Amino acid sequence: MKRPFSRLARLSPQALRLAKPARNPAVEETVEAGVTILRGPAVLKGLLGKLVARASSQPVIRQFELEEIGAFVWSLIDGRRNFDALSKQLQRKYKMNPAEADASLAAFLKMLADRGLITLLVKDVLS
């Protein structure tokens, strides 16, 4: 059984390497003038977030622009490829060493997860 995790901080390094990032289906992707733009529901945190959520009758939508490498990683996120597979693709395409690719990928996936754009699917260790 797989269960989603939205925060990388909860995952051990071994679990992260096996995690399969999956896109949030509520996120819309467009490409405008060569720039990949993601639009999705905002993750509202804290007291201010709760107030905004209550005051608004419509969901709050946030927009994110991805740079070239981020757009490349986003294009690979499909819920089937794990962290290692994504890292190897980065290493090949951008001539990164493994440590550089892993660090960049971990930081990027954390940002996407924190903003609710992806979830990380991990095998349930207990099953």
Give the burial class of 101: count Cβ atoms within 10 A of its Cβ; 0-12 exposed, 13-18 middle, 19 or more buried: buried
What are the tens digits of pLDDT across the range 91-125? Answer: 999 999 999 999 999 999 999 998 999 998 887 54
Euclidean distance between CA atoms 78 and 124, whole angstroms = 19
11 close to 4: Cβ distance less than 8 angstroms: no
Rounded to whole angstroms, the Cα distance separating 5 from 2 reads 10
Q: Please state the domain extents for the chain.
A: 2-123
Predicted local confidence at residue 4, as pLDDT: 55
pTM of structure: 0.80
pLDDT 10s digits, 28-72:
999 999 999 999 988 766 766 566 556 666 677 899 999 999 999
**Mean pLDDT for the stretch of residues 15-20:** 86
CATH number of the domain at 2-123, please? 3.90.930
Tell me which amino acid residue 53 is: A
pLDDT at 25 over 80: yes
